[in-house]
Amino acid sequence: MTATMSSGGTASAAGLHKPRPSRHRRGRDRSTPLSIIVWALALYFLLPLVWLAIASTKNTGDLFSTFGFWFGDSFALWDNIQSVFGYKDGIFGRWALNTLLYAGVSAVGASFLATMAGYGFAKYRFFGSNAMFSIVLGAIMIPLTALALPTYLLFSSAGLTNTVWAIIVPSLVSPFGVFLMRVYAADAVPDSLLEAARVDGAGELRTFVQVAFRLMVPGFITVLLFALVATWNNYFLPLIMLNSSDLYPLTVGLAQMQSAGTSGGGGEVLFSTVITGSFISIVPLIVAFLFLQRYWQSGLSAGSVKG
Site for other proteins in 209-248 (CB under 8 A): 229, 232-233, 235-236, 239-240
Site for other proteins in 59-98 (CB under 8 A): 63-64, 67-69
Cα-based distances in Å from 258 to 229, 236, 274, 278 = 22, 16, 6, 10
The closest of 75, 82, 300 to 179, measured between CA atoms, is 300
| 3-state SS class at 62 | helix
Q: Does 107 bind other proteins (CB under 8 A)?
A: no
| d(C-alpha 73, C-alpha 62), whole Å | 7
Site for other proteins in 17-36 (CB under 8 A): 19-20, 22-24, 29-31, 34-35
Shortest Cβ distance from residue 250 to other proteins (Å)? 7
Q: Does 158 bind other proteins (CB under 8 A)?
A: no
Shortest Cβ distance from residue 86 to other proteins (Å)? 20
Residue from 106, 120, 167, 276 binding other proteins (CB under 8 A) = 120
Residue from 71, 85, 213, 296 binding other proteins (CB under 8 A) = 296
Q: Does 149 bind other proteins (CB under 8 A)?
A: yes
Q: What is the CA radius of gyration of the chain?
A: 24
Q: Are 270 and 261 in contact (CB under 8 A)?
A: yes
Number of residues that bind other proteins (CB under 8 A): 133
Q: Are 54 and 69 in contact (CB under 8 A)?
A: yes
Buried b (16+ CB within 10 A) or exposed e, 250-267: bbbbbebbbebbeeeeee
Q: Does 306 bind other proteins (CB under 8 A)?
A: yes
Q: Does 291 bind other proteins (CB under 8 A)?
A: no
| d(C-alpha 301, C-alpha 176), whole Å | 15
Residue from 74, 210, 245, 293 binding other proteins (CB under 8 A) = 293
Site for other proteins in 178-197 (CB under 8 A): 178, 182-183, 186, 191, 194-195
Shortest Cβ distance from residue 281 to other proteins (Å)? 6
